[in-house]
Amino acid sequence: MMNKEKKQTYITEMTSQFEKSEAVIVAHYQGLTVTQLDELRAKMREHGIIFKITKNRITKLALEKTRCKDLSNLFTGPTAVALSQDAISSAKILTNFSKDNKNLKILGGIMGNDILDVAGVKNVATLPTLDEARAKIVGILRSPAQKIASILLAPASKIAILALEKSKK
């Protein structure tokens, strides 16, 4: 049982975390073993995501003062939240984990100011992460540069033949 001071500290802490987080995903964890929860928390921690089992009534009080207040109806039963700056990573980890562990049920969440239902969270999970998107862009940008470099590094005779062929057209 929490005393009044601890409850107030919890509310203040949760309000701050909800405000700081770019993405909040809510899930039920009933039926997961302690080992499974530890495994999920470890995966989340690797990506800088906080996965926290909540106290519903007090968490609803913390939600009232934040942009996440529309999520308060999801806080019933054994609830946990994933708080992160990267919505895609947290959605991917939770979605993949829920495929292997049917007892983890994603309820919804918020990304920026957009409320997500279960399907929305799963759609976000299919998007490339920021690092994956950057790698694709770099790959696209490098491709033409490599072609130009290979032409410039070709022997002069090949450039002359290429120029001759272009002039015939």
For 26-84, what is each residue's pLDDT tens digit? 999 988 889 999 999 999 999 899 999 988 888 888 888 788 888 888 888 899 999 98
Q: Looking at the structure, tell me whether residues 80 and 137 fall in a common domain.
A: no
Q: Is the dihedral of CA 78, 55, 44, 91 positive or negative?
A: positive
Q: Looking at the structure, tell me whether residues 100 and 44 fall in a common domain.
A: yes
Q: 120-153 burial by CB neighbour count: b if 16+ within 10 A, else e?
A: bbbebbeeeeeeeeeeeeeeeeeeeeeeeeeeee
In sequence order, the β-bridge partners of residue 27 are: 80, 106
CA distance 122 to 154: 49
Q: Is the pTM of this model over 0.75?
A: no
Q: Looking at the structure, tell me whether residues 95 and 152 fall in a common domain.
A: no
**Is residue 153 over pLDDT 70?**
no
List the domain range (segments joined by +) for residue 137: 131-168
The rounded percent of the chain whose pLDDT value lies above 70 is 88
Q: Looking at the structure, tell me whether residues 137 and 88 fall in a common domain.
A: no
pLDDT of 81: 92
Q: Looking at the structure, tell me whether residues 137 and 120 fall in a common domain.
A: no
pLDDT band for position 18 (cuts 50, 70, 90):
confident
For the chain, how many structural domains are there in total? 2
CATH number (domain holding residue 21) = 3.30.70.1730
